[in-house]
Every structure is written in C-alpha cells, then in structure tokens.
C-alpha cells in the first residue's frame, strides 16, 4: 500500500482510545479489557479500518481487534474514525501479525483476512498470510474451532489459500468466485473491495473452519 506520510502520526496513535500500545500485556486477558465475555474477532491488515469499524458498529455484542503493521495507514484510519461515534467494542494494534501468537492465547473466535498483500513472487511466499508459517501461529490464538474468512480480488492468492488451508486441515465451508454477483449477500465492503468492485473486478471469498 503506497500512502503519503502523515507528520503527526505518532501523536494520532498515542492519543487514540482505540490503540493498544502494549498488546502482549493482554495476552489471554482481552475479554477483561473489553469488560465482557463476548466473542473476539480479529482482522489482520485492516488498513484504514473501514471494514472493522463498520463491523464493530453493526455488531455491538462482538469485540473486534485490528492488527495493522503500517503506522501511517492506521493513523489515517484513526483520523477518520475520530469524527465518528466511539465504539467500545473495537481496539487496534500497530503490530506485525507474524507475532500474533505473542498477543493472544486461545481467545479468538474468527480471523478476517481482507485483501491481504498477495506477495506474488515465489521467494516471498512465506509472507502470505495463509502460508503455513502463519497458520501455525493462528493455532495458538483460537478459542475453539479455528475460523478464517478471507476476501480478495487476487485469484492467485485465492487459489494458493484454498490449497494451503485445505492441506493444513481446514474445511472450506463457503466459497464464492464472484461475491458481488449474489443479490442478497450480506457483506460489509472494505476500502480495497470498494475500489476493485468499482473497476469491475471479481471478488473472491472463502470461509474456512478447522474443527477441533
């Protein structure tokens, strides 16, 4: 994601009520921080957080946590969110999800991967968020059945993910090769999804579960 630098990004992140700056402190204790026992859903790479904010607003009885490694993009998202209603069921972390096992312990219900970077070169395969290296990390975070919901415009990343998840033991329980063609689909669009859909690109979606 190419994005203009934001001079006061540190100030924005430091002063936001959404940001958790020391996430490892809450490992195994996120429900305490939320102050309830509602289920926890995590999005890796929320970008400017349009999807996760809308989801948190629509589902006040579910807790949401976004993990975004680029501080600038997160700061832009927070700037926009500061003008909107405050949502107590949403926290954001400026962090690399490769270390996700250091911040959650058997407490996540569902993981969302929306328009993840495709890393098309073979030598970068291990950076894809559905690579085995990541799937092993995710094992630590789920409370019970492991649930991953993924959307992308990139057919290569999609095919790769179907194979990677299936060989790891996940069952693909829902799959669409053209999500927006469904008339009655219930879908919150991400920022990238809106851009790609406008260009007429097909949106691929899968829902995968590993039953414990």
Ligand X SMILES: C[S@@+](CC[C@H](N)C(=O)[O-])C[C@H]1O[C@@H](n2cnc3c(N)ncnc32)[C@H](O)[C@@H]1O
Q: Is 82 left (phi over 0), alpha (psi -120 to 50) or beta?
A: alpha
Question: Contact at 8 Å (CB) between 116 and 104?
Answer: no
Q: Judged by CB, which is closer to ligand X: 171, or 194?
A: 194
Give the chain's largest Cα–Cα span.
Answer: 46
Q: How far is the CB of 49 from ligand X (least distance, A)?
A: 8
Q: Judged by CB, which is closer to ligand X: 44, or 179?
A: 44
Q: How far is the CB of 75 from ligand X (least distance, A)?
A: 12
Q: For the packed helices 71-81 and 50-58, what is the interaxial angle rounded to 10 degrees?
A: 40
Q: How far is the CB of 76 from ligand X (least distance, A)?
A: 10
Cα distances from 38 to residues 6, 12, 28, 109, in angstroms, run 35, 28, 14, 10
- Distance between CA atoms of 90 and 7, rounded to whole angstroms? 25
Q: Judged by CB, which is closer to ligand X: 105, or 117?
A: 117
Q: Nearest-CB residue to ligand X?
A: 45
Q: Judged by CB, which is closer to ligand X: 74, or 208?
A: 74
Quick one: which of 137, 119, 7, 115 has its CA closest to 68? 115
Is 14 an annotated catalytic residue? Answer: no
Footprint of ligand X on this chain (CB under 6 A)?
A: 1, 44-47, 67-70, 73, 96-98, 114-117, 190-193
Residue among 109, 117, 153, 184 flagged as catalytic: 117
Q: How far is the CB of 58 from ligand X (least distance, A)?
A: 17
Q: Which residues are catalytic?
A: 117
């Amino acid at each position: 994601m190419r994005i203009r630098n934001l001079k006061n990004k540190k100030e924005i992140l430091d002063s936001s009520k959404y940001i958790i700056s020391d996430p490892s402190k809450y490992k195994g204790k996120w429900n305490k921080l939320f102050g309830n026992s509602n289920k926890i859903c995590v999005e890796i790479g929320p970008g400017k957080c349009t999807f996760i904010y809308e989801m948190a607003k629509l589902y006040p009885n579910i807790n949401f946590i976004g993990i975004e490694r680029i501080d600038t993009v997160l700061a832009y998202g927070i700037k926009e969110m500061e003008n909107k209603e405050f949502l107590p069921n949403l926290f954001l972390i400026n962090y690399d999800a490769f270390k996700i096992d250091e911040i959650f312990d058997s407490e996540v219900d569902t993981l969302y991967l929306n328009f993840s970077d495709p890393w098309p070169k073979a030598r970068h395969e291990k950076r894809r968020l559905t690579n085995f290296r990541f799937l092993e990390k995710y094992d630590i975070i789920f409370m019970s059945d492991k649930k991953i919901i993924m959307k992308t415009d990139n057919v290569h990343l999609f095919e790769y993910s179907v194979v990677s998840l299936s060989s790891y033991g996940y069952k693909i329980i829902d799959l669409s090769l053209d999500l927006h063609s469904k008339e009655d689909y219930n879908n919150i669009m991400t920022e990238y999804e809106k851009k790609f859909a406008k260009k007429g690109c097909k949106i691929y979606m899968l829902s995968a579960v590993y039953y414990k």
